């Protein structure tokens, strides 16, 4: 049997190593994972309560349209219920967008480095990914605009960008959106928007009113701390949402995901606590990197990308042996690592481990 030729060389996603496995292999008592931008403070206690209540119903299919959660998000964001679609994480929204909009040979424009799922899903649909290098870790929107032609169907903008953590300002983004043709879909991935405190950051919801070719992606996996429940959503014009709904699997999100998301959506006290701790954690890490003489990109999410001036894979291995899992920079960033902001204790541990590792591994020119 032959799979589609375009997937033959597609890599299988390599998740970060599970903590328990690392502990066993290396004989360590304590291992911390700051590799997947998960919330170090877990999730709202309301989520666990909602899940306990939902257990009685596990034999019954979930509401495929997630009506209650849709209405709650519509209320919180001020958009219509027909402007919202849910996925098994925003990963699945990316998949559905590619599935609904791309025909073989269609082009999509994205940054490099950025979130790998855009290119991955474009490749599966036999589309073409036009990759535009970041400038100083930031989306180069004018250069991306230059790559739009009559074959372009989608432009992907990740804001803040994963893995660099940088943002494009509202001014830069609107100047870009003003020039993108209406027939081109712009996907604005705001997975970390709840963390952003910079006043130049766009209000994605306000942009939606002006640009009907825009879709926002948001998720409960990051600040809401529900990554394991796989629930994220897209917000866009009703026509767009309808097209994506047409390719959606009937029961693509679970009862637990919907119930936990609904219960935690308006727990602003939890969100504020996480945002504050994240702000403090970023300030601490920046201070440590300054002390160690390391450059880093301006970080606006719950992670920071720092130049360790040594091969990132060597630094990854050395940190792993000390019980700290981070993510090594790939292709474009061979000497950078991405660290998720953890609890104060975890941040202190990663800084201490990094200092020791930098002494073990000499600087390479």
Question: What is the contact surface with ligand PLP in residues (CB under 6 A)?
Answer: 37, 89-91, 115, 158, 162, 189, 191, 219, 221-222, 227, 232
Q: Which residue is nearest to ligand PLP (CB)?
A: 89
* Nearest distance from C-beta of residue 29 to ligand PLP, angstroms: 29
Which of left, alpha, beta for 185 (phi over 0: left; psi -120 to 50: alpha)?
A: beta
* Nearest distance from C-beta of residue 60 to ligand PLP, angstroms: 24
* Nearest distance from C-beta of residue 63 to ligand PLP, angstroms: 19
**Closer residue to ligand PLP (CB): 91 or 125:** 91
Question: How many other β-carbons are positioned within 10 Å of the β-carbon of residue 254?
Answer: 17
**Closer residue to ligand PLP (CB): 248 or 322:** 248
The contacts of residue 8 (CB under 8 Å, 6+ apart) are: none
**Closer residue to ligand PLP (CB): 44 or 219:** 219
**Closer residue to ligand PLP (CB): 89 or 323:** 89
* Nearest distance from C-beta of residue 227 to ligand PLP, angstroms: 5
Q: What is the 3-state secondary structure (H, E, C) of the chain?
A: CCCCHHHCCCCCCCCCCCHHHHHHHHCCCCCEECCCCCCCCCCCHHHHHHHHHHHHHCCCCCCCCCHHHHHHHHHHHCCCHHHEEEECCHHHHHHHHHHHHCCCCCEEEEEECCCCHHHHHHHHCCCEEEEEECECCECCHHHHHHCCCCCEEEEEEECCCCCCCCCCCHHHHHHHHHHCCCCCEEEEECCCHHHCCCCCCCCHHHHHHHCCCEEEEEECCCCCCCHHHCCEEEEECHHHHHHHHHCCCCCCCCHHHHHHHHHHCCCHHHHHHHHHHHHHHHHHHHHHHHHHCCCECCCCCCEEEEECCCCHHHHHHHHHHCCEECEECCCCCCCEEEEECCCHHHHHHHHHHHHHHHHHCCCCC
**Closer residue to ligand PLP (CB): 278 or 309:** 278
Q: Residue-wise over 335-360: b if at least 16 C-beta within 10 A, else e? A: bbbbbbbbeeebbebbbebbeebbee
* Nearest distance from C-beta of residue 253 to ligand PLP, angstroms: 11
* 159 within 8 A of 190, measured Cβ to Cβ: yes
* Nearest distance from C-beta of residue 232 to ligand PLP, angstroms: 3
**Closer residue to ligand PLP (CB): 191 or 358:** 191
**Closer residue to ligand PLP (CB): 5 or 15:** 15
* Nearest distance from C-beta of residue 179 to ligand PLP, angstroms: 24
* Nearest distance from C-beta of residue 282 to ligand PLP, angstroms: 16
**Closer residue to ligand PLP (CB): 309 or 340:** 340
**Closer residue to ligand PLP (CB): 288 or 296:** 296
Bridge partners of residue 216, in order along the sequence: 188, 235
**Closer residue to ligand PLP (CB): 37 or 202:** 37
* Nearest distance from C-beta of residue 260 to ligand PLP, angstroms: 13
Report the C-alpha gap between 31 and 23 in whole angstroms.
Answer: 6
* Nearest distance from C-beta of residue 91 to ligand PLP, angstroms: 3
């Amino acid at each position: 049997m032959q799979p589609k030729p375009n997937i033959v060389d597609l890599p299988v996603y390599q998740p970060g190593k599970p903590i328990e496995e690392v502990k066993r292999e290396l004989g360590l008592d304590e291992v911390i994972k700051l590799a997947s931008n998960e919330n170090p403070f877990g999730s709202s206690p309301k989520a666990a309560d909602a899940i306990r209540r939902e257990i009685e119903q596990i034999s019954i299919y979930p509401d495929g349209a997630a009506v209650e959660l849709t209405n709650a998000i519509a209320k919180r964001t001020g958009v219509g219920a027909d402007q919202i679609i849910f996925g098994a994480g925003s990963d699945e929204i990316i998949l559905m967008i590619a599935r609904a909009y791309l025909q073989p040979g269609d082009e999509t424009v994205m940054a490099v480095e950025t979130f790998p799922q855009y290119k991955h899903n474009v490749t599966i649909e036999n589309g073409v990914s036009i990759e535009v290098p970041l400038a100083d870790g930031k989306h180069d929107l004018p250069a991306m605009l230059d790559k739009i032609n009559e074959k372009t169907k989608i432009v992907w903008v990740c804001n803040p960008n994963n893995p660099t953590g940088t943002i494009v300002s509202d001014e830069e983004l609107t100047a870009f959106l003003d020039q993108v043709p209406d027939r081109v879909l712009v996907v604005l991935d705001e997975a970390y928007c709840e963390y952003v405190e910079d006043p130049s950051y766009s209000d994605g919801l306000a942009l939606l009113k002006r640009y009907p070719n825009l879709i926002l992606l948001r998720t409960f996996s990051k600040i809401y701390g529900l990554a394991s429940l796989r629930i994220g959503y897209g917000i866009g014009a009703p026509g767009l949402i309808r097209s994506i709904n047409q390719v959606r699997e009937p029961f693509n999100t679970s009862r637990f995901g919907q119930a936990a998301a609904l219960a935690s959506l308006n727990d602003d006290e939890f969100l504020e606590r996480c945002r504050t701790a994240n702000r403090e954690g970023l300030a601490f890490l920046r201070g440590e990197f300054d002390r160690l003489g390391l450059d880093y990109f301006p970080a606006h999410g719950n992670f920071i990308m720092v130049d360790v001036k040594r091969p990132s894979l060597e630094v990854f291995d050395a940190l792993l042996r000390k019980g700290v899992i981070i993510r090594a920079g790939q292709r474009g960033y061979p000497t950078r690592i991405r660290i998720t902001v953890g609890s104060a204790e975890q941040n202190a541990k990663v800084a201490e481990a990094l200092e020791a590792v930098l002494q073990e591994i000499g600087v390479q020119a």
